[in-house]
Structure 1
Amino acid sequence: MAAGEYDVTVNYLGDEKYFESSNATSFKVSKTDLIVGTDSKATANVVGQNMVNAILSYLFLKTSTVKST
């Protein structure tokens, strides 16, 4: 995922048990150095939430996409 600001909107259409719902938020991705071919541990600061620890792998970073608005 490229460094930068991202806006995310999630819509749930609802069903017979739960009402329709939607929410929007934004987050910032900062550049970090990873060792190619190995898993790296990174800490991500999600705007408006607590610090989140995530395990990111080189393969995930090369194959993931983000749909932003």
Structure 2
Amino acid sequence: MTVTVSLFQGPELAGDVDANLAALDDAARSAAAAGASILVTPEMSVSGYDIGDLVLERAEPFDGPIF
């Protein structure tokens, strides 16, 4: 069995969860079109890193948009 993996590093647009989700969606579609079964991204690519007090604004339920 062969598994094709695709990697996505960014762009991580700080403070813009919707734009990050859209970029991730585009990357997933491109990866799938290229034959990838799995897309690997940084663990905080949607919410942003070192976001301080924004963590309270970005908290969401387990089945929220980032999930």
Same fold (TM over 0.5): no
- Greater RCO (CA < 8 Å, at least 6 residues apart): 2
Q: So what's the TM-score if we normalise by structure 1?
A: 0.29
The structure with more strand, counted as a fraction of residues: 1
Question: Is the helix fraction higher in 1 or 2?
Answer: 2
